Every structure is written in structure tokens, then in C-alpha cells.
Amino acid sequence: MGGGIHMSHITIQGGSRLEGTLAVQGAKNSVLPILAAAILHPGRTVLRGCPHLSDVESSIRILRHLGCRVDWEGGDLVIDASGLSRWDIPDHLMREMRSSVVFLGSILARTGWAELSHPGGCELGPRPIDMHLSALRQLGANIREEGGFLRCTAQHMTGREITLSMPSVGATENAMLAACGAQGETVLVNAAREPEIADLQAFLCGMGCQVKGAGSSTICIQGRQPTHDVCHTVMPDRIVAATYLAAAAAAGGEIELRQIQHSHLSTVTAALHAAGCQIYSGPGQTVLRSEGRLHSAGTVRTAPYPGFPTDAQAVLMAALLRGQGATVFVENIFENRYRHVDELCRMGADISVADRVAVVTGVPRLYGADVRATDLRGGAALLVAGLIADGTTRIGDIHHIQRGYEDPVRDLAALGADIALEEPPPAAHQ
């Protein structure tokens, strides 16, 4: 992911059916908090199946800045946090991605100090961190907010019951990490129940921390230092899986996804089934068959897990653009998560948006166009739309897509899509 990334494009010739089998990459939303958690232990962490993503690279830059040694060994990422020597994250690293804020909990737990700026990323509307800060303050952290910077001290954090006002994924993770460094027991009430939080718990327990309850709304953490090195396999990415299922649903064909936990996808597969796809599952495997003639999926409301994931809203919407009838989307998690709609409309889609509701009415044809990824999942929606558009779709600003998809060109080409990465010519020597 070197220079020129902002000028690269993905081009797709629509019209191919998708056929074949794909192993799904490790989950971005699981590995990012795990990378933050790795610093709790002054020793070695091995992450198996760590996806190669620009957000992972951003986390690696933070880890190295803090004094950790980080090396790729094939598909494994090896982190040695024994030499951690700093507790600050400079502004330019914080701005690279929003989930950098989860380092706050782990830096405080390990060192008792932290200094960082507000995280980047306002692409989905305002993304406050008030719940993160409130949870850490309740554990005893002293946090001063000055001119966009957070200066924190937490020499003596004490476990207690903390009730989140809503089940924020990031606030749950931050509180779990900080609580590992507190004295005594912390009970998190109204915690987020996403599978990635259960993966974080599995990782922490692998290090010798005592955490239980993740996956339910009450999580108990006994403050204690990790006791040993850990080797952890990152869970499969349910949103990447949802993207490829949506792609095959739209394009028609039959695909099999491996290394995936079907239960994590039940609301997505239910919507695709309602729209006319056949779906089968076995251990670690999901098969989708589609004639490529979808109909309405009814009303799709995004909600915290186990509800329909907001991260799969855009790709499902794209899959339904040529379906028969209208599908209504209600986005309940983020205020501004329809930025892909204007790009899809450039391709001939019929979508009307009012506040949090989008109504998609199927059209007979979509047309290839020059479009831009507006954000990570909105960019993935353009990939899906390109597969069912007449002619060539050329997608720009693909660095958004590369934040969360290891290699969508490789994956979709393996399934038979006519897709290519178009890189700018090397800069001429002056």
C-alpha cells in the first residue's frame, strides 16, 4: 500500500455471474481492539490470520511509536510489547483512524498515563467519545480535554459497576481494556454484544486476564495484569462475508464462503433470503445461490448486534438496486450513513433519502459510471453495484475500501468478476 494509492482506481465490467469458493479474511473490527490490547502484556503476542489492511498498518505505526516491536511473519503478526516506553499518541497517528481511541484504555491500564488527541473519522456524522471517557472516569481516570487533546492520569483505577447509556462497541472495548488495569472487579452493564467483543475477551483470557460475559450485555472484568504470551487466531470478518454474499446475490451465481460463522450473519442472510436467494450453512461454511433477480427485502432496520449491522446496510442496498419493488432502510446507528447514495444514483439507481430512512426502488438497468468511494462500506457498495451495471464502472478514492478489505479485486476476480486494479503510471523522474 505504497504511494499513489489515492490515484488508484478499481474498474469493473458488469454482467459476470459469481461462482466459486472463498476463505474470508480476519475481521478488522476484531483485530483493531486486539492490537490495542496487546500492549497490556509486557511480552509477546502472535496474531494468526491478521488481515493486511491499511487500518492494521495504522495500528502498527501506533504500536511502534509506543516502543513495541512489530513484525509480520507470513500471515501472522508478532508484537513484543516488553519495550513499551511511551504513553502518548501523536495527532497525525490519531487522525488516521477512529478506532485509535481504543488505545486510551490499554495505555492507561499499562502505564497509568496517556496523552492523545481526539480520533479522526467523522465520515458517518459526528462520532463522539463521551461514553468512552465517562467509563474511564468512573474507573478513576482523571481526563482533561484541552484544545482537542486528552491528557489522562490513572495511577489507581478501581473496578466498579459501569452502565453504558447505549451499547457502544468502542466504549465497551475501551472500558474492558482499562478495567484490566484497575483494582478489583468491574461490571459493565448494557455492554455491546458484537461477536468482535467476544473475540477480544478470548484474546484477553488467552493472556491470563480474567474477563467473562462478552457476547451478553453484562461483562465482568477482574483487574489483573496479564500473565503470559498469547497466540490468537482472529475471528473471520462477518462484514466482508456479508459484502461477498450481497455481491453474489446481486450478480447471480453460487458462492461458498469458508471460515465463517454463519450465526454471525443471520440477519444479513435473512434479508438476502427474503429477497429471493437460497442460503445453506454448515460448520464454518455458508453457501448462497441466486438467480440474480432479487425482489424487495421489506424493511431493513440497522441495530446493535444481534440486529442487522449498520456496516452491511450499504452493500445490501447496492444488491437490491435492480430488484423488483421497493426496500426501505432505516439507519438507527449513525446519523450520516447514506453518503454512498449519491454515487449509486450516478449509476442510475432510484433511492430517496429522508433523514434516517432510505427507500430503494429497483430499476431495470444500472449504468457503469465514474464514482468515488465516500467511506469504507459505501465504497464496498460501489463494488457490488459495478457488478450489476451495464458497461464499465470506475471507482476512485479506493483507499477507503482498503481500510477494511484485504484485496477485493483478488477475491471478486477469483469468483469470476471482470475486475481490475488500475494503478497510476510511476512518476516520471524530474
Active-site annotation, residues: 122
168 binds ligand UD1 (CB under 6 A): yes
Closest to ligand UD1 by CB, 169 or 387: 169
Contacts of 282 (CB under 8 A, 6+ apart): none
267 binds ligand UD1 (CB under 6 A): no
Q: Fill in the amino acid letter for 198.
A: A
- Beta carbon of residue 48, minimum distance to ligand UD1 (angstroms, whole number): 20
Closest to ligand UD1 by CB, 1 or 166: 166
3-state secondary structure 280-331: EEECCEEEEEECCCCECCCEEEECCCCCECHHHHHHHHHHCCCCECEEEEEC
Closest to ligand UD1 by CB, 99 or 201: 99
Among the listed residues 10, 31, 32, 288, the single contact to ligand UD1 using CB under 6 A: 32
129 binds ligand UD1 (CB under 6 A): yes
Closest to ligand UD1 by CB, 122 or 420: 122
What is the rounded CA–CA span in Å between residue 6 and residue 332? 31
127 binds ligand UD1 (CB under 6 A): yes
- Beta carbon of residue 53, minimum distance to ligand UD1 (angstroms, whole number): 11
99 binds ligand UD1 (CB under 6 A): yes
- Beta carbon of residue 389, minimum distance to ligand UD1 (angstroms, whole number): 26
| Helices and strands in the chain: count of H runs, count of E runs | 14, 24
- Beta carbon of residue 28, minimum distance to ligand UD1 (angstroms, whole number): 7
Binding letters toward ligand UD1, positions 174-213, x by CB under 6 A: ------------------x---------------------
Size of the site for ligand UD1 (CB under 6 A): 20
Closest to ligand UD1 by CB, 123 or 254: 123
Task: Check if the beta carbon of residue 32 is closer than 8 Å to that of residue 56.
Answer: yes
What is the rounded CA–CA span in Å between residue 30 and residue 43? 20
53 binds ligand UD1 (CB under 6 A): no
Count the Cβ atoms, other than its own, within 10 Å of residue 325: 14
Task: Check if the beta carbon of residue 415 is closer than 8 Å to that of residue 244.
Answer: yes
Q: Select from 215, 195, 212 the least CA-distant residue to 204.
A: 212
138 binds ligand UD1 (CB under 6 A): no
283: cis peptide before it, omega within 30°?
Answer: no
56 binds ligand UD1 (CB under 6 A): no
170 binds ligand UD1 (CB under 6 A): yes
Among the listed residues 81, 171, 198, 369, the single contact to ligand UD1 using CB under 6 A: 171
315 binds ligand UD1 (CB under 6 A): no
131 binds ligand UD1 (CB under 6 A): yes
| C-alpha dihedral (212, 214, 215, 216), degrees to nearest 10 | 70
Closest to ligand UD1 by CB, 253 or 308: 308
Q: Select from 255, 176, 173 the least CA-distant residue to 220.
A: 176
380 binds ligand UD1 (CB under 6 A): no
292 binds ligand UD1 (CB under 6 A): no
How far lies 100's CA from each of 12, 42, 58, 135, 417, in Å? 33, 20, 8, 17, 34
Closest to ligand UD1 by CB, 118 or 322: 118
The secondary structure of 337-386 as a DSSP string is --THHHHHHHTT-EEEEETTEEEEE--S--B--EEE--SHHHHHHHHHHH
Q: Is 209 helix (H, G, I), strand (E, B) or coil?
A: coil
Q: Select from 348, 350, 369 the least CA-distant residue to 358.
A: 350
- Beta carbon of residue 355, minimum distance to ligand UD1 (angstroms, whole number): 14
- Beta carbon of residue 382, minimum distance to ligand UD1 (angstroms, whole number): 18
374 binds ligand UD1 (CB under 6 A): no
Query: By beta-carbon distance, which residue lies closest to ligand UD1?
Result: 170
29 binds ligand UD1 (CB under 6 A): yes
- Beta carbon of residue 29, minimum distance to ligand UD1 (angstroms, whole number): 3
Closest to ligand UD1 by CB, 124 or 409: 124
Gyration radius of the chain over CA positions: 22
- Beta carbon of residue 116, minimum distance to ligand UD1 (angstroms, whole number): 15
Q: How far is CA 70 from the centre of its chain?
A: 22
105 binds ligand UD1 (CB under 6 A): no
Task: Check if the beta carbon of residue 255 is closer than 8 Å to that of residue 292.
Answer: no
Pairing of strands 392-396, 370-372: parallel
334 binds ligand UD1 (CB under 6 A): yes
In the complex, the residues that contact ligand UD1 under the rule CB under 6 A are 29, 32, 98-99, 127-132, 166, 168-171, 192, 310-311, 333-334
